[in-house]
């Protein structure tokens, strides 16, 4: 199995989330892709079959954790009102059910987080938006409106149109948020607003006079200056999709064109027949998809729609995401709910916003693709004839190139193993005697062969683990191209190589990683129950190991089991995610279930083609540590899925308690910062002091003494936590009171020296003060009264001074401080 087969490790693997997944907004998001006409008949069903057993069962709303279904349960003739089910996305279990009057339009439901927004029709033209807790049904609040109702939602808000006057000239739009606040968009629309698209900050709507962008925070709307006679259909991050009626060659059609979001200049135009136009364009992730009736659609026509992504650069329709669709609902920008059959037993599915790249057809469409590998930007496929490997660039744009690793051999053994790492491929040719089989390793410009019982290629293809017998000490690690032995006489058979690190288990519950270049060793203590673990694979900080009761994936930074085991045909570790492949129902088609190892989110792809013997599947993840997966579908079509959602993001350091500041907010008085508490606690911390939220240049220590520049300002400190492998995270303390002026303190009094006699000079000494850096002013005093003009440090006693006593008054000043005065003792009486 590409890329690596672990022959001695049990196939028991992780459960689909079990209790690890909650109903938080970041919970599972598991769409099933139906990728061809064949797939449409068996489109994956993650929900219990009983939810599929009614012709009216369809998905009407979604959130990251929940689905809202209409129908799908036993019909109660005594209560004909439609039944709705709140369903957990991770496993399809029904949390609760409720009935809603037929007069309540099924399309006027929106899920935001765990809140359910529902439009209820009252008497006359009155409407009411009721917000309930989706999990319990408890009513949270109601908003009375008059008019159309819920338009759409994104982020944590729902757009509502209402008619505030007797004519359509008084149409208005409001924004209802999950936090209970409401914003009314200023002004009225010429006709009821129609939803076009949106994200967490902006909603795009149209009326009879144009298209508008509405700021979700302020409610301010701005008209989009579209070209004349252009109707806005959809919005993507880079383009506006509009339509203009045209009649080429006398055939009714609509001209669709993409406009650059910034310049509004057209980037492409396509003519779409009217039969296609009726289905319309849908947002699909960051891209665009079209739901339309193909020319070759079999009867009944309306039950055979195609959903195809659109190339945003050219407008070209790409390979179908789903065919034979009976009905659909745009749930959100990322998702489209699909129904494949309007009869009992019909299938429900969700097409999401993942980028799915279909490859060019393999050269022999009558043969069967068997196994697949993915590494260093190339995809390799092994062929049912047992002798051929086809390769192509992983971007899907290139042709397939044929190679024969064992040219000249007549091979028909489908039990051969293929591995692909970096630029290196490893093939078990099936030749040999007894337990030793001939293996061939191939790379650009070279190849070599060796005999082994079995062999495993490392991630990146630099090394090969080979086993020549069953006895201890018969395993070794060699360099793939040269065959030079890196490690010999290894005990046991289990091991994994990630880059230059060889990971092997020990009987004492320690997983040992050895750098094959430097020889450095790292020991990881495994969790309880894994003391005698075998190892399946290691990617980055994640390890797949065999423990008591089944397999586990553990984080080597914090080695606790990630989830409970579950049977599967194959398991693969990717860049922070895991793929396990299994049937969703007993005896059903096989799917690739991708689980993020960061937060437990799952999505499901396929069906995928399985091997004949031994049990296995055509699925591989990129060996170059990108978040991509390739698989072979049931028609031997190769597809690549870009799993941006599953990329293991850097872990976040969490501020548990805010930083604090100790000390008095006064110029010249030192303040002390405490970083607060963090999880994990063993990070490194930096400090930045702020005055009125602006950084103070150079103030980056744990202490700070305010100066004159901070007088009258409030001081805070921002603590930034850093740890390898974690996202840099900052937290800011509460603010101090405004900084008051500093205090100048005289430690010793000023003194006067010199002879108290006329015509003699007296000299003043300022004394000692704190803080330092003061400026001093002097005022000489005669008999306690100021002598006019006598402000120098010295004073020459005039003849009139005879019989008087003199002192000096010293004033200490510094910017940001309150001036302080001290007076010396009086001199002797002047003679």
Q: What is the pLDDT of residues 19-65, one digit of tens each?
A: 222 222 222 223 333 333 333 333 333 455 555 555 567 788 887 67
Give the pLDDT band (50/70/90) at residue 561. low
Give the integer Cα–Cα distance in Å for 5 and 569.
12
Which tops the pLDDT comparison, 302 or 446? Answer: 446
Among 613, 646, 679, the domain boundary falls at 646
Residues 642 and 658 grouped into a single domain: no
pLDDT tops 50 at residue 810:
yes
Q: Assess contact for 759 and 799: CB atoms under 8 A.
A: yes
CA dihedral 249, 250, 251, 256 (to 10 degrees): 70
Query: Tokens for 441?
Result: 């390793």
Please report the pLDDT score of residue 4 as a whole number: 33
Identify any residues that bridge with 182 across adjacent strands, giving them in sequence order. Answer: 176
Among 742, 766, 787, the domain boundary falls at 742
Task: Examine residue 256 and state whether it is found in any structural domain, yes or no.
Answer: no
Residues 546-558, mean pLDDT to the nearest whole number: 75
Residues 547 and 630 grouped into a single domain: yes
Give the pLDDT band (50/70/90) at residue 318. confident
Of 35-39, 63-67, 259-263, 728-732, minimum mean pLDDT range = 35-39
Residues 637 and 735 grouped into a single domain: no
Percentage of the chain beyond pLDDT 70 is 71
Residues 611 and 489 grouped into a single domain: yes
pLDDT tops 50 at residue 9:
no
Identify any residues that bridge with 475 across adjacent strands, giving them in sequence order. Answer: 467, 490
Task: Examine residue 708 and state whether it is found in any structural domain, yes or no.
Answer: yes
Residues 525 and 657 grouped into a single domain: no
Give the integer Cα–Cα distance in Å for 773 and 49.
83
Distances (CA, A) of 570 to 7, 20, 369, 422, 641: 11, 21, 17, 21, 18
Residues 593 and 628 grouped into a single domain: yes
Percentage of the chain beyond pLDDT 90 is 19
Cβ-defined contacts of 360-369 (< 8 Å, 24+)? 360/392, 360/396, 360/398, 360/399, 360/400, 361/637, 362/390, 362/400, 362/636, 362/638, 363/390, 363/400, 363/402, 365/636, 367/636, 368/609, 368/636, 369/609, 369/618, 369/632, 369/636, 369/638
Which tops the pLDDT comparison, 14 or 401? Answer: 401
What 3-state DSSP class applies to 18? helix
Residues 412 and 424 grouped into a single domain: yes
Q: What is the pLDDT of residues 71-97, one digit of tens each?
A: 755 545 555 667 788 887 655 678 888
Among 715, 742, 769, the domain boundary falls at 742
Identify any residues that bridge with 291 across adjacent strands, giving them in sequence order. Answer: 307
The CATH number for 384's domain is 2.130.10.10
Give the pLDDT band (50/70/90) at residue 791. very high
pLDDT tops 90 at residue 181:
no
Which tops the pLDDT comparison, 276 or 201? Answer: 201
pLDDT tops 80 at residue 559:
no
Residues 605 and 524 grouped into a single domain: yes
Task: Examine residue 419 and state whether it is found in any structural domain, yes or no.
Answer: yes
DSSP 677-738: EEESS--EEEEEEEETTEEPTT--SSEE---GGGTT--EEEEEEEE-TTEE-EEEEPPPPSP
Most confident of 22-36, 122-136, 446-460, 561-575: 446-460
Which tops the pLDDT comparison, 162 or 477? Answer: 477
Task: Examine residue 191 and state whether it is found in any structural domain, yes or no.
Answer: no
pLDDT tops 90 at residue 100:
no
Residues 603-621, mean pLDDT to the nearest whole number: 66
pLDDT tops 70 at residue 755:
yes
**Is the bond preceding residue 300 a cis peptide, omega within 30 degrees?**
yes
Give the pLDDT band (50/70/90) at residue 104. low
pLDDT tops 80 at residue 604:
no
**Is the bond preceding residue 607 a cis peptide, omega within 30 degrees?**
yes
pLDDT tops 80 at residue 756:
yes
Please report the pLDDT score of residue 548 as a whole number: 73
Please report the pLDDT score of residue 662 as a whole number: 96
Residue pointed to by tokens 């005065």 = 821
Mean pLDDT, the chain, rounded, equals 75
Residues 655-670, mean pLDDT to the nearest whole number: 94
Of 44-53, 169-178, 237-246, 616-625, minimum mean pLDDT range = 44-53
What 3-state DSSP class applies to 188? coil
The CATH number for 817's domain is 2.60.40.2700
Q: Whole-prediction pTM value?
A: 0.51
Q: Assess contact for 154 and 111: CB atoms under 8 A.
A: no
Give the integer Cα–Cα distance in Å for 454 and 419.
12
Give the integer Cα–Cα distance in Å for 189 and 183.
16
Question: How does strand 253-260 pair with strand 485-490?
Answer: unpaired
Task: Examine residue 449 and state whether it is found in any structural domain, yes or no.
Answer: yes
Please report the pLDDT score of residue 140 as a whole number: 86
Task: Examine residue 202 and state whether it is found in any structural domain, yes or no.
Answer: no
Give the pLDDT band (50/70/90) at residue 316. confident
pLDDT tops 60 at residue 342:
no
Give the integer Cα–Cα distance in Å for 391 and 375.
11
Q: Assess contact for 594 and 570: CB atoms under 8 A.
A: no
Residues 630-659, mean pLDDT to the nearest whole number: 77
Most confident of 117-131, 244-258, 477-491: 477-491
Residues 469 and 578 grouped into a single domain: yes
pLDDT tops 70 at residue 262:
yes
Geometric angle at alpha carbon 543, from 569 and 91, rounded to 5°: 50
Q: What is the pLDDT of residues 129-171, one digit of tens each?
A: 888 888 888 888 887 776 666 656 555 677 777 655 444 445 7
Residues 612 and 691 grouped into a single domain: no
pLDDT tops 90 at residue 710:
yes
Residues 485 and 386 grouped into a single domain: yes
The alpha carbon dihedral of 331, 333, 334, 339 has a sign of: positive
Q: What domain range includes position 735?
A: 651-742
Q: Assess contact for 744 and 819: CB atoms under 8 A.
A: yes
Task: Examine residue 100 and state whether it is found in any structural domain, yes or no.
Answer: no
Q: Assess contact for 58 and 347: CB atoms under 8 A.
A: no
pLDDT tops 60 at residue 253:
no
How many domains in the chain? Answer: 3
Q: What is the pLDDT of residues 484-516, one digit of tens each?
A: 888 877 766 568 888 788 888 766 778 888 888
Residues 715 and 758 grouped into a single domain: no
Query: What number of H helices and E strands is found in the chain?
Result: 2, 79
Task: Examine residue 620 and state whether it is found in any structural domain, yes or no.
Answer: yes
């Amino acid at each position: 199995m590409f890329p690596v087969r672990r022959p001695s490790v049990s196939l028991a693997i992780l459960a689909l989330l079990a209790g690890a997944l909650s109903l938080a907004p970041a919970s599972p998001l598991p769409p099933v892709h139906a990728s061809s006409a064949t797939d449409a008949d068996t489109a994956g069903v993650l929900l219990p079959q009983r939810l599929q057993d009614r012709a009216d069962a369809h998905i009407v709303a979604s959130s990251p954790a929940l689905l809202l279904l209409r129908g799908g349960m036993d019909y109660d003739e005594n209560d004909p009102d439609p039944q709705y089910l709140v369903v957990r996305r991770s496993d399809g279990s029904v949390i609760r059910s409720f009935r809603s009057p037929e007069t309540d339009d099924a399309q006027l439901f929106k899920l935001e987080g765990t809140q359910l927004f529902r439009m209820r029709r009252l008497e006359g033209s009155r409407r009411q938006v009721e917000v309930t807790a989706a999990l319990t049904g408890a009513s949270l609040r109601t908003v009375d409106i008059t008019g159309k109702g819920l338009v759409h939602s994104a982020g944590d808000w729902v757009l509502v149109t209402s008619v505030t006057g007797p004519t359509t000239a008084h149409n208005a739009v409001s924004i209802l948020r999950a936090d209970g606040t409401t914003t009314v968009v200023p002004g009225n629309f010429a006709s009821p607003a129609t939803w076009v698209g949106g994200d967490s900050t902006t909603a795009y709507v149209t009326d009879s006079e144009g298209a508008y962008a509405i700021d979700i925070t302020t409610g301010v709307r701005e008209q989009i200056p579209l070209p004349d006679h252009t109707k806005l259909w959809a919005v993507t991050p880079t383009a506006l999709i509009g339509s203009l009626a045209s009649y080429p060659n006398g055939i009714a059609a609509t001209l669709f064109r993409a406009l650059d979001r910034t310049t509004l200049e057209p980037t492409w135009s396509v003519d779409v027949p009217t039969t296609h136009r009726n289905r319309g364009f849908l947002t699909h992730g960051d891209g665009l998809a079209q739901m339309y009736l193909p020319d070759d659609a079999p009867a009944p026509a309306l039950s055979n729609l195609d959903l195809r992504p659109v190339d945003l650069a050219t407008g070209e329709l790409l390979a179908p995401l789903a065919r034979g669709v009976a009905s659909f609902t745009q749930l959100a920008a990322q998702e489209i709910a699909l129904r494949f059959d309007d009869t009992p037993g019909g299938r429900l599915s969700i097409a999401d916003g993942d980028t799915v790249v279909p490859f060019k057809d393999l050269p022999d469409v009558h043969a069967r693709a068997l196994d697949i590998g993915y590494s260093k930007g190339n995809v390799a496929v092994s062929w049912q004839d047992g002798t051929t490997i086809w390769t192509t660039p992983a971007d899907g744009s290139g042709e397939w190139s044929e190679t024969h690793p064992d040219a000249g051999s007549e091979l028909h053994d489908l039990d051969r193993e293929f591995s692909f790492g970096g630029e290196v491929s490893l093939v078990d040719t099936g030749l040999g005697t007894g337990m030793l089989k001939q293996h061939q390793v191939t790379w650009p410009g070279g190849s070599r062969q060796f005999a082994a019982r079995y062999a495993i290629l490392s991630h990146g293809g630099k090394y090969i683990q080979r086993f020549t017998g069953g006895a201890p000490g018969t395993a070794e690690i060699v360099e793939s191209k040269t065959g030079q032995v890196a490690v010999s006489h290894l005990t046991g058979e289990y091991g994994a190589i990630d880059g230059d690190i060889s990971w092997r288990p020990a009987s004492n519950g320690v997983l040992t990683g050895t750098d094959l270049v430097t020889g450095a060793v790292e020991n990881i203590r495994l969790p309880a129950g894994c003391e005698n673990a075998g190892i399946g694979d290691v990617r980055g900080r994640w390890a797949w190991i065999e423990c008591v009761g089944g397999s586990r994936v553990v984080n080597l930074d914090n080695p606790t089991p990630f989830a409970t085991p579950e049977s599967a045909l194959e398991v693969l570790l990717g860049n922070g995610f895991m793929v396990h492949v299994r049937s969703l129902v007993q005896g059903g088609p096989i799917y690739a279930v991708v689980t993020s190892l960061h937060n437990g989110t799952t999505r499901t792809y396929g069906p995928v083609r399985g091997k004949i013997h031994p049990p296995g599947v055509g699925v591989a993840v990129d060996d170059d540590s990108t978040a991509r997966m390739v698989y072979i579908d049931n028609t031997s079509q190769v597809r690549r899925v870009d799993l941006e959602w599953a990329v293991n993001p850097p872990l976040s350091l969490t501020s548990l308690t805010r930083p604090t500041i100790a000390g008095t907010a006064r110029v010249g008085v030192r303040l002390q910062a405490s970083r607060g508490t963090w999880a994990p606690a063993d990070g490194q911390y930096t400090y930045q002091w702020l005055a009125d939220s602006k950084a103070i240049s150079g103030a980056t220590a744990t202490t700070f003494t305010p100066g004159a520049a901070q007088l009258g300002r409030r001081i805070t400190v921002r603590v930034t936590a850093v740890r390898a492998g974690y996202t840099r995270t900052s937290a800011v303390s509460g603010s101090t009171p405004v900084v008051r002026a500093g205090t100048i303190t005289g430690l010793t009094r000023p003194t006067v020296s010199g002879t108290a006699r006329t015509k003699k000079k007296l000299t003043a000494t300022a004394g000692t003060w704190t803080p330092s850096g003061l400026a001093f002013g002097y005022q000489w005093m005669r008999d306690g009264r100021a002598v006019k003009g006598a402000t120098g440090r010295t004073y020459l006693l005039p003849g009139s001074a005879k019989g008087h006593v003199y002192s000096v008054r010293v004033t200490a000043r510094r910017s940001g401080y309150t001036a302080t005065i001290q007076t010396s003792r009086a001199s002797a009486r002047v003679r």
